[in-house]
Structure 1
Amino acid sequence: MQTGKCLDLSFLATQSKASAGVARISQDLEAQGLPAPWAGDVKIALAEAINNVVEHAYAGLTPAEVEIRCQLHKTWLDVLITDTGNPLPGLCIPDGILAPLGSTLSELPEGGFGWFLIHELTSEIRYERSNGRNRLSLRFDFVQTV
């Protein structure tokens, strides 16, 4: 596995550009030797986090750039997502509590899984709002299996 900066990427905060950005980051990480199971977890968490930026941070605003910076090391990956959209409510990371699932298919909630998945798939989450910019940091620690 190579280590060092893996990717700096920016794209407009739209669903199509965000999907392409997540795909590109995932491909680059795998090309640098990140095993597929870990790459899958990273892709899911990134897709959820970036979807939140597109749908919520830029709700009611003209979409602007989302910047992604990845730093891959032998046993961990840091990802920084930066945008100029609306801040997280209360300037806090949501708890990531799973929404009640109900007992029938019709009772399943339409959403409410994103932050739960992000919390489950990452080792550490940090958020700050500074100079009109949101900075969401995600750390993924990779457990080595024998």
Structure 2
Amino acid sequence: MRSRPDPTAGPEGPLTLAFPGDMRSVRRVLLHLLTATPLRTLSDADRGTTELVLAEVLNNIVEHAYAGGNGQIALSLGLSSAGLAVRISDNGLAMPGGAVPAGLLPTDPDGPAATLPEGGFGWFLIRSLTRDLCYDRKDGQNHLSFTLPIG
């Protein structure tokens, strides 16, 4: 994991990290983020929500975008008047259909796995807990951004 300065940031600007797209690195980054600025300044509830959303998104990148392959993840977090602004990029596979899954809850959670909606519970949580969720794929790179409301 390496930190990179963001040239657009002020003295309290975003935290920007680049790290391998594997489960061990994701766990290490999540632990680091909980004690790093800007997350350490958040309430316990906001820090918990942020950890949940980031874990879900980052694990999806490892499991689906890289699907056992190698790659890097770039993550930027910064406080704004709207909340915690998050940007994540990777070079993995594109999202199915070129868009963020709808994140619909299954109508029959005990039904066969083939009938479960794409994105399942994880994308339902992500969509429920974030604002301004945007996905774009450009030049072979996935870009996901969203805001986590704070307070």
TM over 0.5: yes
Q: CA deviation at 1:138?
A: 1.7
The answer to whether the 8 Å contact 2:132/2:147 transfers is yes
Secondary structure (helix, strand or coil) at the match of 2:13 reads strand
1:69 aligns with 2:76: yes
Residue 104 of structure 2 is matched in structure 1 by: 97
Residue 10 of structure 1 is matched in structure 2 by: 18
Which runs of at least 4 in structure 1 moved beyond 2 Å after TM superposition? Answer: 3-6, 99-103
Residue 47 of structure 2 is matched in structure 1 by: 39
Structure 1: runs of 5 or more not aligned:
104-108
The answer to whether the 8 Å contact 1:79/1:138 transfers is yes
Residue 39 of structure 2 is matched in structure 1 by: 30
| Alpha-carbon distance in 1 for matches of 2:146, 2:31 | 17
Q: CA deviation at 1:140?
A: 1.1
| Alpha-carbon distance in 1 for matches of 2:56, 2:129 | 11
Secondary structure (helix, strand or coil) at the match of 1:41 reads helix
| Alpha-carbon distance in 1 for matches of 2:54, 2:104 | 18
1:52-63 → structure 2 map (5 Å cutoff): 52-59=60-67, 62-63=69-70
Q: How many positions carry a matched residue from both structures?
A: 133
TM-score (norm 2): 0.79
Residue 125 of structure 2 is matched in structure 1 by: 117
Secondary structure (helix, strand or coil) at the match of 2:93 reads coil
| Alpha-carbon distance in 1 for matches of 2:102, 2:109 | 17
| Alpha-carbon distance in 2 for matches of 1:24, 1:115 | 24
Structure 2: runs of 5 or more not aligned:
1-10
Q: CA deviation at 1:119?
A: 0.8
Instruction: Give the letter for the 2:86 counterpart.
Output: V
Percent of pairs with identical residues: 33
Residue 93 of structure 2 is matched in structure 1 by: 86
Residue 134 of structure 2 is matched in structure 1 by: 126
Q: Indicate the RMSD between aligned Cα atoms, in angstroms.
A: 2.1
Indicate the larger mover: 77-86 or 6-15: 6-15
| Alpha-carbon distance in 2 for matches of 1:52, 1:63 | 14
